[in-house]
Amino acid sequence: MNKEEQVIVGFRDLFNKMVYLNKFKMEDSLKGYKPSEVHCIECAG
């Protein structure tokens, strides 16, 4: 694996860890919304 691939894999791993750590906080914030509403919120950014 070359250096560029190592950097990409490292960023992907970091992003996945951040998503996992923020999962519970995000679930609490979005409690009460329907899945379609959450999808709209994600699309809006």
- pLDDT surpassing 90 at residue 45: no
Alpha carbons 42 and 45: distance in angstroms, whole number: 5
Both tokens assigned to 24: 């519970």
Whether the predicted model's global pTM rises above the 0.75 cut: no
User: pLDDT tens for residues 13-42?
Assistant: 999 999 999 988 988 998 999 999 988 988
Alpha carbons 16 and 8: distance in angstroms, whole number: 12
